[in-house]
Structure 1
Amino acid sequence: MKHSFINSAKTALLFLLVSGLLVACSNSTSSEEEHSDPEGFRLKMNGETVVEQLPGGTLTGEFELEPEEETALITIFFLDDDGDEFQPDEPEYSLGAVFEDEGIAEFEQHEEDGVWSFHIHAEAEGITDLTLQLMHNGHSDFNTQAIHVHVEAASPN
């Protein structure tokens, strides 16, 4: 009888271990099923960070341009809650931009630069704020804090 109880206990324990393993394997957390939610962002130009909003932090950096000047290519990297950079690769995601005051600067994207890269083209003297948006099927999943864009004529030497 004692031997039968031990065999039953071993069988039950083995069943529980196998069941637990199967459940754990079926709850895959692969990147194909999930995507990170942005908690911040980083704008890079020529490999250098020029504007940054860390998760839970304030924005640092701004753009200073002269009228008719265009920035070098700027690329956005979203930051997850650990501060790790990512860019969504699903086709339903895109980058949107809204200027507080129109006519001072323009957001320009070129197909050959990719979905997450853009230029800012200065049009007229003034100060405006740019908000970038992670667009998903026509609505914004994430808005950046306001990025200051100053357009001022060069001072004569």
Structure 2
Amino acid sequence: MSILFKRFVIAFTILISALFVTSCDKTDDPVSTQEEHFEAIGMVFRTSGIEAARILRGITTDTLKGPEGAIGDALDITFIDEDENEIAPPSEPKLAWEIDDPTIFEVWQHPGEEGGYEFHIKGLKEGETKIEFFIMHEGHSDFRSGKIPVKIEHEEGSYGEPVGLIIFDEESGNQLVKINQDGSVNGNFALQNGTTTDHLVVKFFDENGTQFQPPVPDHGIQLSISNTNVAVITGQDAAEPYAFKIEAKSVGTAQLEISLLHDGSIEKTFANIQINVN
């Protein structure tokens, strides 16, 4: 091999090595994205500001609990950093989880809040299992909690997601209208022009038929009438958030729409109810 050729090979090798090092060194590249990973060593779960459970370095002596056949109270998550101080969740919702036995319970979150750091335990049947949480980042986990025990028990007065509603006459307690789970409606409102109904009360029911009114002020109802020339909503009072009256304004028909609110946003809207004014 000639000396000239050897020098060429050496020079070419040096050039390629220099290009490789330059391309791999992104610290000098102002355009390159520096990934930020969320770092924590534990989690804290609170309901109404009261600590329900915590896990640190994958170890816990606590158990999360939920009601059978119903949705439990909201659980808010914070994290624990390496100095064992509580820190807020990362800004982007990307919470994930795995349940050892998903036939016992599932995680329920309000529509539009999926992946956020507030959740409810929806008990499916009595029993015990475990859940592990993850913070996901571009397809991999920045954090994993370790497994946390979960126990589902029967609780009196608990209820599940609203699937329908019933409107009662407040004074007599008589059922006036029912919106079924399949969206069909039994009953309507028939008024004489110029009259007003007694106070009407809305109660929701879950798939087991349990009737309930979600707690305020986190929840409430929104009422709207399609034709306010025919009828209007009156008689609403903050002291009775699920009660109202209908006042007939002129002969005709209109539709009443009822929506369940959560934190001021619509969580579920139910089928329309016919109003007839004669």
- Do 1:54 and 1:79's aligned partners in 2 also have CA atoms closer than 8 Å? no
- Do 2:183 and 2:271's aligned partners in 1 also have CA atoms closer than 8 Å? no
- Do 2:237 and 2:243's aligned partners in 1 also have CA atoms closer than 8 Å? no
Greater helix fraction, Structure 1 or Structure 2: 1
**Which segments of 5 or more consecutive residues in structure 2 lack a partner in the other structure?**
1-59, 75-119, 121-158
**Which segments of 5 or more consecutive residues in structure 1 lack a partner in the other structure?**
1-21, 153-157
Q: Secondary structure at the match of 2:66?
A: coil
Partners of 1:113 and 1:50 in 2: CA distance: 22
Give the match for residue 98 of structure 2.
Answer: none
- Verify: 1:26 aligned to 2:63, yes or no: yes
Instruction: Pick the structure with greater CA Rg.
Output: 2
Partners of 2:177 and 2:253 in 1: CA distance: 16
Offset, 1:138? 2.7
The one-letter code matched in structure 2 to 1:149 is: I
Give the match for residue 11 of structure 1.
Answer: none
Give the match for residue 37 of structure 1.
Answer: 161
Give the match for residue 14 of structure 1.
Answer: none
- Verify: 1:151 aligned to 2:277, yes or no: yes
Offset, 1:92? 2.1
The one-letter code matched in structure 2 to 1:144 is: F
Aligned pairs, number: 130
Partners of 2:253 and 2:211 in 1: CA distance: 29
Q: Detail structure 1 runs of 4+ shifted over 4 Å in the superposition.
A: none
Partners of 1:112 and 1:94 in 2: CA distance: 10
Partners of 2:64 and 2:182 in 1: CA distance: 29
* Compared CA separation, residues 90 and 28, structure 1 to 2 (3 A): farther
- Do 2:201 and 2:243's aligned partners in 1 also have CA atoms closer than 8 Å? yes
- Verify: 1:128 aligned to 2:254, yes or no: yes
Higher relative contact order (CA 8 A, sep 6+): 1
Partners of 1:32 and 1:110 in 2: CA distance: 27
- Do 1:55 and 1:83's aligned partners in 2 also have CA atoms closer than 8 Å? no
- TM score, norm. by length of structure 2: 0.43
Report percent identity of matched pairs.
21
The one-letter code matched in structure 2 to 1:27 is: L
Give the match for residue 83 of structure 1.
Answer: 209
Partners of 1:99 and 1:111 in 2: CA distance: 18
* Compared CA separation, residues 104 and 117, structure 1 to 2 (3 A): same
Offset, 1:69? 0.6
Offset, 1:87? 0.3
* Compared CA separation, residues 100 and 110, structure 1 to 2 (3 A): closer
The one-letter code matched in structure 2 to 1:32 is: D
Partners of 1:109 and 1:26 in 2: CA distance: 45
Offset, 1:143? 1.3
